[in-house]
Amino acid sequence: MATATEPVTTTAPAATEEPKTMEHISIICSKGTLDMAYPGLILANAARMSGIEATLFFTFWGLDIVTKKTAEKLHVSTVGNPSMGMPTMLGGLPGMEAFASTMMKKEMEKLDIPSVSEMLEILGDSGAHMYGCQMAMDMFKRKKEDLVPQVEDVISAMDFFDKSAGAQVLFI
Amino acid sequence: MATATEPVTTTAPAATEEPKTMEHISIICSKGTLDMAYPGLILANAARMSGIEATLFFTFWGLDIVTKKTAEKLHVSTVGNPSMGMPTMLGGLPGMEAFASTMMKKEMEKLDIPSVSEMLEILGDSGAHMYGCQMAMDMFKRKKEDLVPQVEDVISAMDFFDKSAGAQVLFI
Amino acid sequence: MATATEPVTTTAPAATEEPKTMEHISIICSKGTLDMAYPGLILANAARMSGIEATLFFTFWGLDIVTKKTAEKLHVSTVGNPSMGMPTMLGGLPGMEAFASTMMKKEMEKLDIPSVSEMLEILGDSGAHMYGCQMAMDMFKRKKEDLVPQVEDVISAMDFFDKSAGAQVLFI
C-alpha cells in the first residue's frame, strides 16, 4: 500500500462511446435491522422510479423484513454501531434500542419515507420482484404464508442467480 | 423521497432479447462472523453448481474464514443483531454468543449444510478460486501457511480487480 | 442443500475469448465504523491505481466518513464482532472501542496506510468521484459545507444509478 500515499494522477477514463444505462438491479437483503432494511428497499424503489428492473432476495436475518410478524418491528442496531454517537455501554442499556428505533422512524416519517410495510407495498405495485430464500425459510422454520403477499415465491440461491443474469447485484 | 409514497406504475422492462446468463460471481468476504461467513460460501457454491465461475477474496475480518485456527471457531454475532430476537443486554451475557453459535450450527447441520471447513473443501473441489488479501495478511500478521490449502494465493486488491473483470462483484 | 455435500466436478468455465477489463467500480458506503470505512476507500484507491473509474456514494452511517467533524473520529466496532477476539462483555467495557480503534490505526500506519482524511484527499486527487446521499443528508440534518471538499455533490439514489450505469456496484 506504500504507493497509495502518492497521488495517482491518471485521469478517470473518458465515458465510453455508447451510452450505457442500468437495466436491472438485484439486491440480496441479508440483515434484519431497520437501518439495513431501508437501504435495500430505498435503492429498489429508486431503481423502479428510474425504470430499472428490481429484484430483491431476502435471506438470513433479512427474511425478517418480509415476515408479517416482524416487518414493522425491526430495530436499529445501537450496540457496535459507533456512528450512532452513543457509547457502547449506553447502547446496551435496556430500552436504548427501542428508543433509537423510534427516533429513526420519526425522522424518516418527517422526510415522508414510508414504513417498511408501506415500502413493500409500493415496491410490489411498482413491479419489483421479491423472493424469499428457501434455505433461510427452512433454517428459521417459516412458511410461505408467514411472508407478506408481495413475496412472489420462495426460491433457491441458484434460482436467484438465474433471475439476476445481467443485473448489477448488491449484497446488503 | 416524497414521491416514493405514490405507487410507481411503470411496469418492469421486458426481458431483453438476447438470453443472458451469469458467467462469473466474485465475492469479497470482509466479515468473520458465522452468519456472514455462510452467505458468501453458500452463494459461491450455488454459483459453481450452476456452472458459474466463482472467485472469493478474503479480507479484513473475513480472513478468519480461511485461517486454519479460526475457520471452525467463527461465532454468530448476538449483540447488535436485533433479528436474533434477543434483547441486547441478554446478548451481551457471557456464553450467549457461544450458545447462539451452537444453535445455528445445529440448525445448519439438520439442513445438511456442511461446516465452514467442509464448505471450503467443497468449493476448492468445485473449481472456485479463493484468495487472501495481502494487506489484511500484513495487518493481522498472517502467513500463507496459516491459511487453509484451498486458498490459491495471497493477492492485492488490484490483482483481485484483474481477476474480477466482467464478474458480478459482491461485498459481504 | 443436500447435494452441496457432493463435490461439484464441473471445471470453471474457460475465460471468454475477448479480453475483459473492469471499467468502473461504484461503491455505496453505508457504514460509519473504521473497519467498514477503509474497505471502500482502499478498493476505490486500488481501482484508480488500475485505471478503473471509481465512484463513491456515502449514505446512512457512511456519511460520517466524509463529514468533516467525524472523518478522523471513526471507531472500530468491538461489540458483536467476534473476529476481534474479544469476548462481548469485554468489548462493551468503556474505553475498549477507543482502544481497539487506536490499535487498528497504529497497525495501519505501520503498513503505510493513510488516515481516512488522507485517503479522501488521495482519492479526490486521483479522479475518483464522491457524492453524498441527499436523503441521508436530510435525515442527519447535514449541509454540503459539513462535508469534506472532495465530495463533489449531494445527489439522490436515482442520480447515483445514472452515474453507475455499466459499473460494478458494491454495497458496503
CB contact (8 A) between residue B82 and residue A32: yes
Chain C residues within an 8 Å CB radius of B81: 80
CB contact (8 A) between residue B42 and residue A157: yes
pLDDT tens digits for C115-150?
999 999 999 999 999 999 999 999 889 999 999 999
Superfamily for C24-76+114-171?
DsrEFH-like (3.40.1260.10)
CB contact (8 A) between residue A122 and residue B3: no
Cα A3 to Cα A8, C69, C111, C113, C125: the distances in Å are 9, 27, 11, 9, 14
A vs B, Cβ pairs < 8 A, gives 147
Q: What's the CATH number of domain A23-76+119-171, 3.30.70.600, 3.40.1190.20, 3.40.50.1820, 3.40.1260.10?
A: 3.40.1260.10
Phi-psi region of B123 (alpha: psi -120 to 50; beta: other; left: phi over 0): alpha
Residue C13: all three cell numbers together:
468455465
State which amino acid sits at residue B139: M
Best to test chain B binding among A48, A93, A130 (most B CBs inside 10 Å): A48
- What residues form DSSP beta bridges with C53? C24
ipTM over the 0.90 cut-off: no
The strand order across the sheet containing B24-29 reads B151-155, B129-133, B53-58, B24-29, B168-171
| Helix, strand, coil percentages, rounded to 5, for chain C | 45, 15, 40
pLDDT tens digits for B35-77?
889 999 999 999 999 999 999 999 998 999 999 999 988 877 6
First-residue to last-residue Cα distance in chain C: 27
Cα B10 to Cα A20, B14, B90, C65: the distances in Å are 20, 11, 46, 36
Contact residues, B window 65-124, toward C, CB-based 8 Å cutoff? 70, 74-81, 91-94, 96-97, 111-114, 118-119, 121-122
pLDDT tens by residue, chain C, 172 residues: 444 444 444 444 444 444 578 999 999 999 988 888 999 999 999 999 999 999 999 999 899 999 999 998 887 765 444 454 444 444 455 555 666 777 777 877 888 889 999 999 999 999 999 999 999 999 889 999 999 999 999 999 999 999 999 999 999 9
Closest Cβ opposite residue A60 in set B39, B169, B170: B39
User: Who has greater pLDDT, B110 or B43?
Assistant: B43
pLDDT at C74: 85
Q: What is the least distance, in Å, from the CA of C13 to any CA of chain A?
A: 16
pLDDT tens by residue, chain A, 172 residues: 444 444 444 444 444 444 578 999 999 999 988 888 999 999 999 999 999 999 999 999 899 999 999 998 887 765 444 454 444 444 455 555 666 777 777 877 888 889 999 999 999 999 999 999 999 999 889 999 999 999 999 999 999 999 999 999 999 9
Residue B132: all three cell numbers together:
487472501
Q: What does the buried/exposed string (b/e) look like for B135-150 if buried means 16 or more CB atoms within 10 Å of the residue's CB?
A: bbbbbbebeeebbbeb
B: neighbours with 3+ CB pairs under 8 Å?
A, C
Q: What is the least distance, in Å, from the CA of A4 to any CA of chain C?
A: 7
**C30 inside 8 A of chain A by CB:** yes
CB contact (8 A) between residue B12 and residue A167: no
The domain made up of B23-76+116-171 has a fold known as Hypothetical Protein Ychn; Chain: A, (3.40.1260)
Q: What residues have CB less than 8 Å from B109, skipping those under 6 apart?
A: none
- What residues form DSSP beta bridges with B164? none
Rounded CA-CA distance C81/A80 in Å is: 8
